[in-house]
Amino acid sequence: MNAGSGALAARSGATAWSRRVVDPALRDASRRTGSARPSVAPSRARRNAVTVRAAILGEVTDMIGIPLPEGRQLIATVKTNPQGVHTISLQCEPNAPLGLLLHWGVIRSAVSQDWQLLPPELNPPGTVVYKQKALQSPFPAFGALQLVLDPGVDAVEFCLKVETTGDWINDHGRNFRIELGGSPAGAGAAPRAPTTSKSFAPEYTLDVRMPPTPESPPPAPSHAAPPQHAAIRGSSAVNELAAGLDVLFGVAAYLRWEQMGKPRVDEDEKHRIYSDAVDHITQRLNSGESVEALETEFGVPPGLVRQTAALAAPPAAAPAQAKPTPPPGFTPPAPPKAAPAPAPSYGYDAAAAPAPVVGEATPMDIANLCEARANGAQLLWRRELNLGQANAVKLMVIEGRRTAQGMMQMIVFGRSDQGIVLHWAGLDEPAGEWKNPPHGWSSMPENSWATGGASWETEMEALTTARGWHAATIEAPCDRDGLAFVIRTADSAHWIKDDGQDFMCFADEATTLTDVRAIVKRRKEEERARRKAEKEERRRREREQQRSSPQKLKRGGLSTTTIKEVKMPARPEVIKRKDWNHDEIKMHQGALGHAGASGNVAGGSVDNICNSEEGATRSLMHRFNIASDLIPQCKGEGEAGLVAMAVWFRFMALRQLVWNNDYNIKPREISAAQLKCTTQLAALHKDDPAMRDVTRFIMATIGRGGDGDVGQRIRDEILVVQRNNNCMGGMMEEWHQKLHNNTSPDDVPICEALLKFIAADCDISVYWDHLHANGITKERMASYDRKICGEPSFKPDQYEGLTRDLKEYLRTLKAVHSGADLDSAAENVMGYHQDACKGKEINMPPVTEVATDRMRTLLHSACGFRDLGEPLHSMEGMLEARRELWNWTRPGGADNSRLKDVIYLDLALESAVRQVVEANLSSMATRAPVDVLKMTGLALENLALSSGGNEELVICLQQWQGVVGSAMNGGNDWALQAKSVVDRVNNALGEVSQRYINALQPTAHAMGGRLGVDGHVLDIFSEEVVRGTPAAPLSQMLRALDPRLREMSNMGSWSIVSPVEAAGVIEVINDLKDVQNKTYSVPTVLVSRRVGGEEDIPPGVVGLITPDMPDVLAHTSVRARNERVLFATVFDASRMSELEGMHGQAVNCAPVGADDLRITSVDPSSLGAAPGAGAVNMSMSAPSSGVNIAKREFMGRYAVPSPEFTGAIVGGKSRNLQELRGRLPDWINLPAQVALPFCTFDAVLAHPNNGHIAQHLQGLRQELEHLDFSNQVAFQDLLGRIRACIMQMVPTPELVDEMSRAFAAERLPWPEGHLGPEGAGGSGAAAHAWAAVTGVWASKYNDRAVLSCRKAGLSHENVSMAVLCQPVVQSQYAFVLHTTNPQTGDPNEIYGEVVCGMGEALVGNFPGRALSFVARKDDLTNARVTGFPSKANGLFTDAPTLIFRSDSNGEDLEGFAGAGLYDSIQMHEAKLRPVDYSRDPIVSDETFRAQALAAIAHAANEIEQALGSPQDIEGCIAADGALYVVQTRPQV
């Protein structure tokens, strides 16, 4: 069938629907004017306009309207591109029934007239195959159902099914049918004229697109015919190029409209602009100017006009001359930039090259696009690959370039008919292992994500200027290194490689083209030879060892071979750490308290343990055996059960439980019982990731244990020590009797105390000091079953022998009792030998695969530098060893027959880091800053390796590594960035501490009282546990580092959020939200340990001081400035402690600049009355402040589009944006908006359908009038009931009708389903939308709103809530701006804060600070960063949705801080995600950050100038670079 004719023929069983050209803009215009929508039409030929439109846009576009029951229509927008691919967009208007399905098939006339199925990859999401005869596709909840059909499809037949009711919808018993016809290649199709994206401002390179709905486009034509190319009279050259000249006509018309200031124009004016453009271009061509010259002048890529004309079909016969008019849907396109100089032509094989198709980009086009994408980078090499039409990716272009900054730039283009993804990583050399890309890399587009290994993925963007082509650019600081990649399709069905190997990108082309397979083959051969040689060498050594008389041990022998000690150098080696991928240590499970223990007590486990305690007191052997039996039972109660076991063992380690009750047990029996218990725990550590933290906690409280001679040697060796050194009596004999009867962990510090005693020339105070430091007193030693009452006494001639023998004996004691001792744990893993004692020697073999030469070097470095007092090198060795052990210690890690010993080595390394930090804290102030940064990073890595659910810690670690790199390279802002990471880590540590308290303290109290544990021990139980975790040394490091960072960043000890001098009495509180309902009768300065950012400030408060860090533009901060209340953050912990000690004192607080606060004592009698103190009854009645809220009346409109906004029906939030339309540069975008006016709530509530709700609400309001607000529980309960009552309201038919019409006028998609509460008629997305609307209405009764009105003496019932409906911008960054600096009051400075994701993270209760900056209005391009972000999370929206914003008559009152009191609610809730600033360019890329902040500052300045007063602005930058302003109000 000729694509231009569009003739349709109905056949039996199906109704044919005509394909009529209907411009989408015309359709929208018909919605606004209320004209009839498209309806059923008889079969007819397609109008000639199709060919004209195809020539301009490169595709055929038709729209069909199909009437459905209940007044609905199915709108089908059909497009056919130049390659013949059809796209059908199906949307049910005004909304779709819940559960609507498309039951359909396609007709391929060349095959048969029966229904055919599509290839699975073309099926819409959620499609299922019905009996192998049809497809069933669900309509999406939001948006249209998209069908993509290959060129072989001639028609689509379908009917509709409503799953919720089982109803079928068809055309009077027949299927609906849409005829498609063939490819439009012969219809004169031509590519769309390329356009260039608009940027923030002309001088920036950040790409920002125009908004989907321009503020003031010329209305689409509704009556004029499109231009006919042959109707343009002129020279033969003009007539020959007629089909391509539409490109120039459109650009010239756009430029003329832009020069006029982009005014709103009617149809006649629009036609005149377009006609003038046609006349102008035609006249200049007739005068002899060349097309090429005009292309250059108007920014059209060279040759595009002739190329378009050549590809177009010959024009139809010329009709009578008519006045040229714009094509259908003409919205002037942005003028394209001039194309760069042509790049060298491609080297495609002519025989294999695909045949040219209409609209296909040429090799020259792609070369030009590569050059434009390179942004001036130098070309090193280029590859062009023809992979064949059968492949998912048919053509590829790869370029390697070098930027001016020395970065490697890799540009990849791919020709594919489906979405494709770049799967890539760093590479040391060809055939090397993939590794994490070097720090500082970037991608375009920015949508990149880690895959969990070393690789990353970047979504390749579809190019609008080259149909079917996708592109991605990676820039990385590679010198000799390179990049490797493959391409996969979005559904992962196809992976594209370079003839079987990975694609590579090195600076050198020869290296890039290396045949990796040959290298791999050679390496495999070399590896086989090496393994063979190693195997032979191993056999040779084994034969030699067998000949060297191996000693067979008695019972429980560990090895038949004597373990030879490996000699290490006297001075340890400074190790070089590997380039580890920190993403590999992320654990999503295992965090203590996240698997059910938080706040819960496992009663069964607690009972079992307490009932078993009497038997456990006999000896440690009995205790460990009982524990082994109870572990499976505790595990059966989940994490809470294992927490009970952990608490029990902790009580034991704290010596709160009896270890031995006159029961004689051999040491080897205790050791074997320990081994039985720890082996179970090691298996649990490996196999149950959710229990990782609690399992490690239990293991750290007990020794490793062992079997055979390891335990028995404790009993035997002490006799040898005594006999060898002639010390058979006194304290040594008492100790011998204890060891012989029942050894315990106390024996380790006793042995250490004896060694220190001897080294101090028998100074008895040294002996007792060490014992006391380990919790051992004279009384405890006298309480042993075999008492130790004497003190040691040795002669000088005994010193040398005792020192030698006791050191060796200490090894034996630690092997059983000290699981977390590094030296002992390292020996146990690496293998060691002890000479025979009573005929039995110890030979502990090395742990297979773990005891490598590198591990030996690392442990030698860790221990050696520890002993030398060099903490940095020691910690580097410890952490590198832990990373080497990660293969076994990670959740689900590699198995090993001695896994328990590996875990204990890891625990020992973890503990050793803490000991090194604590031993060297006092020297931090004198160490080099970079060394302190490195040590802090190592302490953070130590915590991350030990903590389950550690994603936040790993992200902080990655950020910290960037800070260290910046400091080493002399970066400008490293101290400021380090401060932000310190703040973020401190927040994370607070969360860790709280988790431990919530998980452990309830069980400790439940169990401790029954076991007779000391009350003080119980009270501080969790606190002391936290101090023993890796969190403690990190916290100590941060506390030591913070003052130095603040000093280097010129930050001071304070941040003054609201610079007001205040005098009052200090009151210390835990959380500001706990006192919101309180009224202070005397002026009060609150010192609050917690301020979230959303709280209200109580009456009588004149100052607020906190160590917390709310944003300067958070709600609480804004209200403090508006109410003239001092608000300051104190960073210095010691200063905070001083303030807490001043509780009850009268002080004067005077800000000194923006970073200091001078506090002096004053006479309490000088304070005067507290502001707002007259409102003592705390009810709804309060004294008037002179500010009034005018009561509004319902104006008869339930919903209005933005052109109808007036002050009588909506608030300033709605009007301010509308006032900006047409007054801002086009790179500043404003969203479409619909408003539900003031008193719409009252009108809906008054409807009979809501009569019972109105009655109930009236009673609740009366109850509120008489409530005592100081009763916070009753207050919050009543407000909650009021909000719940409001959210039960149902919409009225008038509201639904007016809302749907207003949405159509604003081109806002109407939510799928039925508007109303779920369970009361609401369904689908519309139910979510209604919940958001009623949620905004109900926010009139949130606590901060009610309290603020009461405090200001305002009539709360006069508050009327308009609701502003907007599409949600899927933002990458959100910002809040004050065009007068709120901290200094300087009108020449703009102050702004930026967060990743949506703005609710900025203005709401999200811990951490935003990125803050200041920009001078006379130098907007050079914004100065005053603080980097420390917020751990951002809010993100992944799919189109709506937001409903409060817009009350109480938010814009002069003298009342009403902003932020009420809620804005999304139809679909945004998702909370962690933010990794090390990979976000707003932090990691200084150039990007400067451009983004400058653009934001320019936008703020433009808005202030447009509105004529300082503004409080909210906006965002979308993922595609578009800058939006979503809200502005006068700054107060």
Q: Is 848 exposed, middle or buried (0-12, 13-18, 19+ CB in 10 A)?
A: exposed
Q: Could you give the CA distance from residue 1497 to residue 1503 in angstroms, rounded to a whole number? A: 10
Encoding tokens for residue 627? 């524990």
Q: Could you give the CA distance from residue 659 to residue 618 in angstroms, rounded to a whole number? A: 7
Cα 450 versus chain centre, distance: 12
Cβ proximity of 703 and 654 under 8 Å: no
Cβ proximity of 238 and 282 under 8 Å: yes
Encoding tokens for residue 113? 């007239």
Neighbours of 451 (CB within 10 A): 12
- CA 743 to each of CA 619, 663, 976: distance values in angstroms, whole numbers, following the listed order: 9, 11, 54
- List Cβ neighbours of 783 (8 Å cut-off, separation of 6 or more): none
Point out which residues pair with 89 in neighbouring strands.
77, 146
Sole residue written with tokens 């606590």: 1343
Q: Could you give the CA distance from residue 926 to residue 913 in angstroms, rounded to a whole number? A: 20
Q: Could you give the CA distance from residue 1096 to residue 65 in angstroms, rounded to a whole number? A: 53
- List Cβ neighbours of 1225 (8 Å cut-off, separation of 6 or more): 201, 1502
Encoding tokens for residue 831? 């293998």
Encoding tokens for residue 444? 């375009």
Cα 128 versus chain centre, distance: 33
The SS3 assignment for 1481 reads helix
Q: Could you give the CA distance from residue 1042 to residue 500 in angstroms, rounded to a whole number? A: 53
**Half-sphere exposure for 1529 (CA within 13 Å, toward CB):** 20
For helices 929-946 and 1031-1048, give the axis angle rounded to 10 degrees.
Answer: 150
Cβ proximity of 1395 and 1430 under 8 Å: no
Cβ proximity of 732 and 747 under 8 Å: no
> CA-based diameter of the chain, in Å?
129
The SS3 assignment for 206 reads coil
Q: Could you give the CA distance from residue 1518 to residue 597 in angstroms, rounded to a whole number? A: 41
The SS3 assignment for 475 reads strand
Cβ proximity of 1430 and 990 under 8 Å: no
- List Cβ neighbours of 614 (8 Å cut-off, separation of 6 or more): none
Residue type present at position 381: W
Q: Could you give the CA distance from residue 1112 to residue 1128 in angstroms, rounded to a whole number? A: 10
Q: Could you give the CA distance from residue 1028 to residue 1434 in angstroms, rounded to a whole number? A: 32
Q: Could you give the CA distance from residue 976 to residue 969 in angstroms, rounded to a whole number? A: 15
**Half-sphere exposure for 620 (CA within 13 Å, toward CB):** 31
Pairing of strands 1361-1367, 1234-1236: antiparallel
Cα 1024 versus chain centre, distance: 33
Cβ proximity of 1427 and 976 under 8 Å: yes
Q: Could you give the CA distance from residue 504 to residue 483 in angstroms, rounded to a whole number? A: 6
Residue type present at position 582: H
Of these residues, 229, 1115, 1468, 1498, which one is catalytic? 1115
Q: What is the 3-state secondary structure (H, E, C) of 960-993?
A: HHHHHHHHHCCCCCHHHHHHHHHHHHHHHHHHHH
Whether residue 1115 lies in the annotated active site: yes
Q: Could you give the CA distance from residue 158 to residue 102 in angstroms, rounded to a whole number? A: 7
Q: Which residues are catalytic?
A: 1115
